[in-house]
Structure 1
Amino acid sequence: MSDSTNPGYARRLGVLDATMVVVGGIIGSGIFLNPALVAQRTDSSGMTLLAWALGGVFALAGAFIYAELGARRPQAGGGYVYLRESYGPLIAFLFGWIMLLVNYSGSIAAVATTFAVYACQVAGLSDNLVKPLAVGAILLLAGINFFGIRAGALVQNLATVLKLLAVVAVVVAGLAFGGAAAPPPAGAAPGGGSLGSAMLPVLFAYSGWFYVNNIAGEIREPQKNIPRALVLGMLTCTACYLLANYAYLHVLGHAGLAASKAPAAELMQGAFGPTGAVLIAAGIAISTFGFCNISILGGARMFQVMGADGVFFRAAAHLNPQYRSPDVALAGLALWACVLVLSGSYGQLLDYATVGDWIGSAMVAATLFHYRRHDAGNHVFRAPLHPLLALGFIAAVAYVVVSSAIAQPQQTLIGLGIIAAGVPAYYAWRRSNAAR
């Protein structure tokens, strides 16, 4: 839409802004908390680092695929747009449905709660303030993004720089002050398992690069800058993850990392005492705050496009004529996320949506075959090693889906049920908007 009330998005972001969105969408609290889980599922330090390196290769493959898709269709909406053009509106709607009902809103609620927990810890506030603070953070970020993409990007750039500094602090502390690996706690179980099982938490930690495709309509020179941002951002995150895990292993050792509940906090406290623990808590709070901002910023634009297509509330299609922001979609997404925070149900919802999320990622990647076949004359950035790269990515996603289904069959069935519930919702919205 580009009338007086919906003037369209404005291309105001450069390659640095887009790169910050990629980095901020990937690095959340996982690198500070989750490496212990990977160590528990591997037999040695070398296998732990190998898992993180393979995860980086997988994520880089996904980034290349999304780079070509973003260059071919540099408009707001990301995966929803690619699915709509390749498979039709119903499949695209089901993707948006699971993202709206669960993934974006649930992620915002979960990450805002994590932010509030660590913010209260740093400030010495009561745990009773966690939910009010989480709701306040969501509403604050939605309010900032109301003033346009530049306002949201400024918050994102600052938060991403600070979270990168937190990762650098962990790496420097580990390498400079670690010394010999610390012995594991008494009775700690050594790491075990297989590389395959270790890859699940690794792949989840690397996900999030796709947020930049949701705001492709606001990036300058998108055919050049989207691929640059995705590749540069992914390489940055891979380097951060490998260096951080090397630091954890250098200080804690493999068995110590496997037994740790909060490796970053233990490392920083060992290096700097109580001050180090407070610093890393502040780093996690900032990191999660930035991730919450990206989820709000990117998610709202997908729902705005769905509203414009007539498969969602028509009001969600509105763009603020002054700030070019999806104001109604921002408000709706933020309010639903606040409901999930207050109800405490976001954790279960995210468990239910895991399979749908990854199936959606595989289907989005598969749209590359459609564009290569029907849009061959479009001379834009092309993902290397096609079709092997896309097939390998889809195979890896299939592995994650099958592994998750075997490990959590009940959650998988509920997740598929949530997706199926989107079918009648789709036709109801279509009839309602057609009648109107």
Structure 2
Amino acid sequence: MTSPAATAPLTMRHAIAITVGVVIGAGIFKAPSLVAGSVPTAGWMFALWVAGGLIALVGALCYAELATTYPSAGGEYHFLSRAFGRGTALLYAWARFSVITTGSIALLGFVFGDYMTQLLPLGTYSSALWAAIATVVLTGINLRGIRSGAETQSWLTAVEVGGLVLIVAAALWFAVGSGSAPPPPAAAPGPVSLAGVGFGMVFVLLTFGGWNDAAYISADLQDRRAIARALLVSVLFLTALYLLVNWAYWSVLGLAGMAKSQAVATDVLTAAFGPGAGKLIAAMVAAAALTSINATMIVGARTASALGQDWPALKVLAAWDEERRVPRNALPIQCVLALLLIVLGVAFKGGFQAMVEYTAPVFWLFFLLVGIALFRLRAIDGARERPFRVPLYPVLPALFCASSAYMLWSSLGYVYSQQLGGFNAAWVGVGVLASGLVVLVLMRTTKD
């Protein structure tokens, strides 16, 4: 029998932990170097991170209206279904469940495994074994109930944030003269390049990515208006944290040093605490990957469950444990698919990782559609009670749509310039959407 604690609704603290946990991943340990290399001065670098936080904040305001007006475990699937119909929503859910979510779990599993192997190797296939262990254990925890998964997320997020705070502390320690590295080299300012700024912005926004997943737990909160506060608090906290971490990198390495660094966090901790800091970095990145895996599992299975509720042919995914507030079939199915991808990744890790990364245009396409859905739902369902309304409507939603369109264009440009197996990588996203269209046709031949 499930304990009351396992079935109690979630609080705003849980929503913040899930949001922050899914956003902070391995990106904050790599993206700052790429951003620093794309701008001429530190001022421009910090300006890009502030702009990324503002864009995420605008998006959070839009999602806050949708999530409070239409609370659902289906999140974006539910918004798209109400605005554009089940067909468009199915294409989104298919892309998310078949590649984006399960592929992300597998890839994050390999990141976790790679760094755990530095701490405790498990033999020839150590990375894959650690990935599989994390996938199975976290699935088991989440099957116990949404409360169990959310509490685990709270602890993991605390460890993850603590690791980033350690980087800031290392910079402060270095600043008072306890470090052993030379002072940061001075960088001669160069001209501002719009292309460089755009390139840097792509990586800033990717590092902020994931805040939207809070929408999937809107129906599990004690107060549905709390999702708006959770989104706003999460984005503001993340912006402040990212600025502090980038200040730490810059204060120790300088802009040129950041741009040249292949492992910027390692370089900072080594400068402050000596060469033994490598183990700390391995633990920090492993914790970040584990936190993102858990949050991705929580929200990913909910999309699949919502899909099963709408389409009889996929009803196996719809099974819902009301007592525990979890999709009892979608979670283990998601686990099995992720494990299969981990096995695939053992042989084709590089190509497999590229395949998942090349679906980015599909993600940004549907992100743009969610922004447009806000306008459409205001038009066709304007009389509905809205506990939270986007301020400065329609300016802020239009800005969110414009930023999503920019990211779609940028990701298309990147994917189009890549090759995978001798073919243009743009065909990966086309293939995912085409397979979704086949599924849609098959689903529509099934009697509702």
The answer (yes or no) to whether the contact 1:307–1:314 under 8 Å persists in 2 is yes
Give yes or no for the alignment of 1:355 onto 2:361: yes
Which has the larger displacement, 38-47 or 319-328?
A: 319-328
SS at match of 1:334: helix
CA distance in 2, matches of 1:238, 1:134: 29
The answer for the alignment partner of 1:421 in structure 2 is 435
Pairwise CA RMSD of aligned residues?
A: 2.2
Q: Which moved more, 1:121-130 or 1:363-372?
A: 121-130
1:62 is aligned, of 45, 59, 65, to: 59
Corresponding position: 1:75 with 2:82:
no
SS in 1 for 2:390: coil
2:298 is equivalent to residue 301 of structure 1: no
Query: Matches of 2:444 and 2:233 in 1, distance apart?
Result: 40
Equivalent residue, structure 2, for 1:162: 159
Deviation of 1:182 after TM superposition, in Å, equals 3.0
How far does the alpha carbon of each residue in 1:80-106 deviate from its partner, in whole angstroms, 9 at most, with x for none? 000000000110011111101111111
Tell me if the contact between 1:10 and 1:218 (Cα under 8 Å) persists in the aligned partners: no
Mapped contact 1:311–1:430 kept (Cα < 8 A): no
- Following TM superposition, by how much is the alpha carbon of 1:322 offset from its aligned partner in structure 2, in angstroms? 4.5
Partners of 2:52 and 2:312 lie apart in 1 by: 35
Task: Give the match for residue 172 of structure 2.
Answer: 175
Contact preservation (8 Å) 1:404, 1:412: no
2:388 matched residue in structure 1: 381
Provide closer, same or farther for how the CA distance between residues 346 and 106 of structure 1 changes in structure 2, counting only shifts above 3 A: farther
Question: Offset at 1:157?
Answer: 0.1
Paired residues for 1:21-420 under 5 Å: 21-126=18-123, 128-178=125-175, 181-183=183-185, 194-222=196-224, 224-310=225-311, 313-320=314-321, 322-344=323-345, 346-377=352-383, 378-409=385-416, 410-420=424-434
- CA distance in 1 between counterparts of 2:46 and 2:174 reads 20
Structure 2 unaligned runs (5+)?
Answer: 1-5, 346-350, 417-423
Question: Distance between the aligned counterparts of 1:173 and 1:251, measured in 2?
Answer: 9
Offset at residue 346 of structure 1 (A) = 3.7
Is the CA contact 1:23–1:209 (under 8 Å) kept in the aligned structure 2?
yes
Q: Distance in 2 between matches of 1:45 and 1:109?
A: 35
Gaps of 5+ in 1: 1-8, 185-189
Take 1:103 and 1:191, find their aligned partners in 2: how far apart are those partners?
35
CA shift for structure 1 position 312: 5.7
* Separation of aligned partners in 2, 1:113 and 1:312: 33
Quick one: which amino acid aligns to residue 182 of structure 1? Answer: P
- Matched pairs, number: 422
CA–CA distance in structure 2, aligned partners of residues 140 and 323 of structure 1: 17
Give, in whole Å, the separation in 1 of the partners of 2:7 and 2:367. Answer: 27
TM-score (norm 2): 0.89
CA distance in 1, matches of 2:210, 2:138: 19
CA distance in 1: counterparts of 2:90 and 2:313, whole angstroms? 9
Letter in 1 for 2:286: A
**Contact 1:303/1:312 (8 A) holds in 2:** no
What displacement does 1:67 show?
0.8
TM-score (norm 1): 0.92
Deviations for 1:104-144, whole angstroms, at most 9, x for unmatched residues? 11111111110111111123554631101101111111111
AA at the equivalent of 1:97:
W
Q: Distance in 2 between matches of 1:71 and 1:264?
A: 38
